[in-house]
Amino acid sequence: MKDSIIITKNLSHIYQTNQSGSLQKAALLDINLEIAQGSCVGIIGITGSGKSTLVQHFNGLLRPTSGTVIVNDIDVSAKNADLALLRQRVGMLFQFPEAQLFERTVYADVAFGPRRMKLSRHEIRTRVLNALDMVGLPHREFAQRPPFELSGGQMRRVALAGVLAMSPAFLVLDEPTVGLDADVRAEFYSYLQRIKQEKEVTIVLVSHDMAEVATLADWLFVLHDGRLVMQGTPRSIYTQGDTLRKWGLAAPPLSELLTLLRKKGLAIPEDVFMLEEAFTLLQRRPFISSPTNNSG
Amino acid sequence: MNHPPLIDIQHINYIYPARNTRTGEMQSITALQDVSLQVQQGEYLVLLGHNGSGKSTLARNCNALLTPTSGRVLVAGLDTSEKANQRTIRDMVGMIFQNPDNQIIATVVEDDIAWALTVRGMPVSLINERVSSAMEAVGIVHLRGLPPHRLSGGQRQRLAIAGVLALRPQCIIADEPTAQLDPLSRAGVVSLLHQLNQQHGITIIQVTHLLEEAALAQRIIIMEQGKLVMEGTPSSIFANLEQLRQLKLAIPEPIELVARLRNVGIPLSPEALTVEAIAQEIMP
């Protein structure tokens, strides 16, 4: 395993639900995990499972009640942690990030973060233009336009560019495609794929949708009721549909289909879960019952 | 098929004014353009389309929440534009929304379901009977004494449905009822709508942008830019994946797999649209 960029040890986070502190709710309980540098991981769980609470520890928005969180060699749990430095290294994109756009031009909006980092004018310019090109908004065409005239998908990519321009060591994306149409969603993911390949950046994707992270993530963490209940490669997780259902989750529909076919005795290897693989395998005749069996 | 339709939409347009963000001038947005549609009593209809295609606007025109700019909508023969008809129409055609919290008002589950009946001045014995049967129909009897905020998202959506059901509507319009739910609660709410349709004969109009939620409908209508662009049974709609893609709808992977297998000459029925049916088709 490569070096870990994030390590949590016995991380717990307890909320007090009344003023005297006598009523408490554990949002996170004893989480131990490591995220490898340069990887793309998915954090999966239903609403209320603790996934947003967890990632808010990664940039110091929340501090652990007990346990430690080390991010990029910074101990977030320490009282004197350098949160300003931490937040430069951790780019965070919240749900509906287009709501955070506020400048008059796309350029100014993306430049906001780098300006706060007190970079040279030249450096800011280079970073902004690169970030815009990276998310498929060529700067010649988009830099001077008001962000609010863009489509929903484009606005989200402006927000992503704003995070990228700070050259973070890793990106945390909280349900980044909620509310987008299918084609726009696929487009957003294609740019994310490109960022993953071209930049040496670690990506943390938060989602309740297994299918959504299927193509991008190489490791998944499943949270339920504040606990880390399962982790592994998507391939290994998707074959455990029955277990996932206990936690209110569902494997992607194609994995569900393949699981059903395996139960019916079809010899499909456990690790097949992509459309292309399934097609290649199933189109071989012996797999499919002959037409004479088909009453039609 | 000679029954008059429950909902009869005749050549409606729906136009609303909006301010242009750049110029600041007022302009007209056409959300629905010459839409005609008949919904039969007892039907299960799915209205599909991507964001902004006009499907919610059309749904809101079905129970007089909105009334058409031109053309007319008749519900059981009553014109929705007539103010005097609107109360009757909304009792006949109930509506639930994305966020159940928008229509939950009381502090206890039972009271919330009883609310609409109470304001209509029904006798207590009748209210009790209807509240009980509505709770039973949606499976929340065990939650009757709880405050709504203690319920899960899926349970609150069931509560919202029960509130509508207590009025004994002929039709329920569900506008993206699963959009804020987790996958399992999502499947639960859709199967509840089917159950209400089959066991109680309630007409259902379900609005969604997810093809997989449309697989079990009797009829699918697809909207794009305020117009009806496709109409048919699920198997006929799913037979044209290329056109669905152009309409910006995500094709479920199992459906895509079946289409590709069929393309290379493997005979698979176009009627198989759910994961279970497809598995059965591949391995009878």
Domain count, chain A: 2
**Band of pLDDT at residue B22, cut at 50, 70 and 90:** low
pLDDT of residue B87: 93
Walk across the sheet containing B171-175 and list its strands.
B93-96, B171-175, B203-208, B44-48, B219-224, B227-232
Does B121 lie at the interface with A, CB-CB under 8 angstroms? Answer: no
- Say whether both A99 and A230 belong to one domain: yes
Does B125 lie at the interface with A, CB-CB under 8 angstroms? Answer: no
Q: Is residue A11 part of a domain?
A: yes
Of all residues in chain A, the percent with pLDDT exceeding 90 is: 51
Does position B164 have pLDDT exceeding 60, yes or no? Answer: yes
- Say whether both A263 and A230 belong to one domain: no
Q: Please work out, in degrees rounded to the nearest 5, the angle formed at the alpha carbon of residue A206 by the alpha carbons of A200 and A211.
A: 100
pLDDT of residue A8: 96
User: What distance in Å separates residue B138's CA from the closest CA in chain A?
Assistant: 19
Mean pLDDT, chain B, as a whole number?
92
Does position A293 have pLDDT exceeding 60, yes or no? Answer: no
Helical residues (DSSP H) of chain A, grouped into ranges: 51-58, 83-89, 106-116, 121-134, 139-142, 152-164, 182-198, 210-213, 234-238, 241-246, 253-263, 275-282
Q: Is the separation of the CB atoms in A113 and A163 below 8 Å?
A: yes
Find the range with the poorest average confidence among A223-232, B135-144, B146-155.
B146-155
**Band of pLDDT at residue A292, cut at 50, 70 and 90:** very low
Q: Look up the domain containing A262 and give its range.
A: 252-288
- Say whether both A176 and A275 belong to one domain: no
Q: Is residue A293 part of a domain?
A: no
> Is A275 within 8 Å of B252 when comparing Cβ atoms?
no
pLDDT of residue B283: 86
Query: CATH number, domain at A149?
Result: 3.40.50.300
pLDDT of residue A2: 58
> Is B283 within 8 Å of A152 when comparing Cβ atoms?
no
Interface mutation target, options B150, B180, B184, chain A, most CBs of A under 10 Å: B184
- Say whether both A218 and A278 belong to one domain: no
- Say whether both A59 and A169 belong to one domain: yes
pLDDT of residue A291: 46
**Band of pLDDT at residue A65, cut at 50, 70 and 90:** very high
* DSSP-assigned beta bridge partners for residue B85: none
For residues A182 and B107, which has the higher predicted lDDT (pLDDT)? B107
pLDDT of residue A96: 83
Q: Of A186, A279, A293, which is closest to B284 when you measure between CB atoms?
A: A293
Does B284 lie at the interface with A, CB-CB under 8 angstroms? Answer: yes
Find the range with the poorest average confidence among A6-10, B178-182, B220-224.
B178-182
Q: Please work out, in degrees rounded to the nearest 5, the angle formed at the alpha carbon of residue A238 by the alpha carbons of B250 and B182.
A: 60
Q: Is residue A65 part of a domain?
A: yes
Q: Of A256, A283, A289, which is closest to B261 when you measure between CB atoms?
A: A283
Q: CA nearest B21 in A: which residue?
A: A149
Q: Is residue A295 part of a domain?
A: no
Give residue-wise pLDDT tens across range A70-114.
998 899 989 888 988 898 889 999 888 888 888 999 999 999 999
Does B182 lie at the interface with A, CB-CB under 8 angstroms? Answer: yes
**Do the interacting molecules here have an ipTM over 0.85?**
no
Give residue-wise pLDDT tens across range B38-96.
999 999 999 999 888 999 999 999 999 999 999 999 999 999 999 999 999 999 999 99
Q: Domain boundaries in chain B? A: 7-234
Does B1 lie at the interface with A, CB-CB under 8 angstroms? Answer: no
- Say whether both A221 and A278 belong to one domain: no
**Band of pLDDT at residue A284, cut at 50, 70 and 90:** confident
- Beta-carbon contacts of A168 under 8 Å, excluding residues fewer than 6 positions away, are A88, A89, A90, A91, A201
pLDDT of residue A210: 80
Q: Is the separation of the CB atoms in A214 and A221 below 8 Å?
A: no
Report the CATH fold assignment for B7-234: Rossmann fold (3.40.50)
- Say whether both A259 and A240 belong to one domain: no
* DSSP-assigned beta bridge partners for residue B14: B32
Mean pLDDT, chain A, as a whole number?
88
- Say whether both A164 and A237 belong to one domain: yes
pLDDT of residue A221: 96
pLDDT of residue B192: 94
- Burial environment of residue A293 by CB neighbours within 10 A (0 to 12, 13 to 18, 19 or more): exposed
In chain A, which residues have their Cβ closer than 8 Å to the Cβ of B53?
Answer: none
Give residue-wise pLDDT tens across range B60-76.
999 999 999 999 999 99
- Say whether both A175 and A264 belong to one domain: no
Q: Is residue A212 part of a domain?
A: yes
Q: Is residue A246 part of a domain?
A: yes
- Say whether both A55 and A136 belong to one domain: yes
Residue A21 has what DSSP assignment? S
Give residue-wise pLDDT tens across range A266-280.
888 888 888 999 999
Three-state DSSP at A26 gives strand
- Say whether both A154 and A23 belong to one domain: yes
Does position A181 have pLDDT exceeding 90, yes or no? Answer: no
Does position A265 have pLDDT exceeding 70, yes or no? Answer: yes
- Say whether both A238 and A278 belong to one domain: no
